[in-house]
Amino acid sequence: MPWVPRIAISSSNDIATILKTRAFNRWSLFVLISLPVSIAVISVMNLTDMNTANGVSAMIQFTVRCSVPFLYIAFIASATHALYPSHLSQWLLRNRAIFGLCFAASMAWQLLFILWLVGIHTEYYIGSVYVLRDAIEGMLGYVLLTFMTLTSFKTTRRKISPKHWKWLHKTGIYYLWAYAWSVYWYELYYYKDPELIDYLYYWLGLAALCLRITAWYSKQRASIPSPVIAGPTAFIAGTIIIAGLAAASTGSSWSSPAHTLLLGNTPLQLFELYLPYYPFVPFLPVFAIASGTWLLTRQELTPDTEFQD
């Protein structure tokens, strides 16, 4: 029998020791993740006909799929630690910025292929790809990602106030999550020709958001000295949350009427041209889940307790 190396992990202390090693933290972790991703991108590019627009478009899709997991990990790091504190959650929180930088590095590859498509296959881009609102969404996403990347370093982070830094990174991470997740919503419920990975990224993205909502709910509930459960309100809140989850699972059955309703009014059609994500159809279930959770916190307030945002 050939010799097989083993790593013996006998306790949580062993796990903590491994997660604290230099190779799995900070810039070593960045190299450990980004280098294989770059090698994979270059390898796939060498196997793809880059002289065609379809080949370049395939590379854009591939780089997105390489990037999304790191976005989701950065998105859930603080919520995971708040809900399930452990050595692993500490490691995620400690390296949250690194995962964000890994996402940025992967998205830099995507930007390269987008510029390739626009510059080399201009007619194809204008005729088959270009939509003004999509271009605005993408450009705004890259602007936010650029500023988030620049302010992830200590020297540049000190250039802005903590308040502005928090606003930038919280706004940016939600915007980027929305951009990535909505892509897979449309793959599942609009284009109706999804692949297995589209289902995976869609549900992982929704689970990531639900985790953050749960962490927010847990924090709000902890701030209430003597919660009082009001049955009818709790029932309504729970019903709204369940309806939101059901809608997230059945988008193909209601998305067309929702688009028609929200775009049927001529004045509102102007928003479709310029406003990112409008008419927000993929996010209607998310709004329901968030609203139900908010209502759940409100019903736990006593008359003498002031709700704290």
Instruction: Give yes or no for a cis peptide into 303 (omega within 30° of 0).
Output: no
Say whether pLDDT at 12 is over 70: no
The residue ranking higher by pLDDT, 143 or 266, is 143
Q: What is the pLDDT of residue 10?
A: 46
pLDDT value at residue 226: 59
Radius of gyration of the chain (CA): 22
Q: Count of residues for the chain?
A: 309
Q: Choose between 10 and 116: higher pLDDT.
A: 116
Q: What is the pLDDT of residue 304?
A: 46
Residue 133 pLDDT > 50, yes or no? yes
Give how far the C-alpha of residue 144 lies from the chain's centroid of Cα atoms, to the nearest Å.
14
Q: Which residue has the higher pLDDT, 206 or 7?
A: 206
* Cα distance from N-terminal residue to C-terminal residue, the chain: 62
19 confidence band (pLDDT: 50, 70, 90): confident
Q: Assess whether pLDDT exceeds 70 at residue 101.
A: yes
Better-predicted residue by pLDDT, 268 or 42: 42
Residue 173: the pLDDT is: 96
**Of 105 and 220, the one with more pLDDT:** 105
Determine the residue type at 2: P
Confidence of residue 20 (pLDDT cuts 50, 70, 90): confident
The alpha carbon dihedral of 250, 138, 145, 195 has a sign of: positive
So what's the pLDDT on residue 300?
55
Burial class (CB in 10 A: 0-12, 13-18, 19+), 36: exposed
Please write down the HEC assignment for all residues of the chain: CCCCCCCCCCCHHHHHHHHCCHHHCHHHHHHHHHHHHHHHHHHHHHCCCCCCHHHHHHHHHHHHHHHHHHHHHHHHHHHHHHHCCCHHHHHHHHCHHHHHHHHHHHHHHHHHHHHHHHHHCHHHHHHHHCCHHHHHHHHHHHHHHHHHHHCCCHHHHCCCCHHHHHHHHHHHHHHHHHHHHHHHHHHHHCCCCCCHHHHHHHHHHHHHHHHHHHHHHHHHHHCCCCCCCCHHHHHHHHHHHHHHHHHHHCHHHHHHHHHHHHHCCHHHHHHHHHCCCCCCHHHHHHHHHHHHHHHHHHCCCCCCCCCCC
Here the tokens at position 88 are 């692993």
Does the pLDDT value for residue 1 go beyond 60?
Answer: no
pLDDT digits (tens, 9 = 90+) for 157-191: 888 898 999 999 999 999 999 999 999 999 999 88
Report the chain's mean pLDDT, rounded to a whole number. 87
Phi, then psi, of 293 in degrees rounded to 5:
-65, -40
pTM of the entire predicted model: 0.88
In single-letter form, the type of residue at position 45 comes to M
Nearest Cα residue to 58 out of 69, 70, 45: 45
Name every residue whose Cβ is closer than 8 Å to that of residue 197 and which is 6 or more positions away in sequence.
65
